């Protein structure tokens, strides 16, 4: 089965990110395909490279980045939600004249069309968070 995943909550404020990660990992381990993981609303915070949790805490952003690299996942941050929350990639940095960029490895910024495409291409779109 081919899944699209949508994550609407930040990594440390709600269980949605952890649930989405473990669902995605389990689906891949069982041989299913993940078409795309789309991060929306506060979920875009899962893609900030500036997250620095304590050493004894889980590093949610790093887990997503490593899973993306291991399985060639498409991790997409909604551009409007990302901009509202201060996340910019290199292209957005240049376009808006910012001093730096903070999108974690394996993530990219794009529009809602990527979510629509995931809903069309996947057999199921599974949503985590409100």
Contact 128, 16 (CB under 8 A): yes
Q: Which of 1, 5, 9 is nearest to 130 (CA)?
A: 9
Contact 36, 92 (CB under 8 A): no
Q: Is 110 a catalytic residue?
A: no
**DSSP codes, 17-61:** HHHHHHHHHHHHHTT-EEEEEEE-GGGGGGGBTT----TTS--HH
Check 5, 78, 103, 125 and give the catalytic one: 78
Residue count (the chain): 130
Residues with catalytic function: 78
């Amino acid at each position: 089965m081919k899944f699209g995943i949508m994550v609407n909550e930040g990594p440390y404020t709600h269980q949605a990110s952890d649930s989405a990660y473990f669902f995605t990992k389990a689906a891949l381990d069982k041989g299913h395909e993940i078409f795309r993981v789309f991060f929306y609303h506060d979920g875009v915070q899962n893609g900030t490279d500036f997250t620095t949790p304590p050493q004894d805490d889980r590093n949610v952003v790093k887990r997503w980045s490593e899973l993306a690299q291991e399985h060639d996942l498409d991790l997409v941050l909604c551009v409007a939600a990302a901009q509202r929350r201060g996340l910019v990639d290199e292209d957005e940095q240049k376009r808006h004249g910012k001093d730096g960029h903070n999108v974690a490895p394996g993530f990219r910024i794009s529009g809602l069309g990527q979510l629509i495409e995931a809903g069309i291409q996947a057999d199921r779109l599974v949503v985590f968070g409100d």
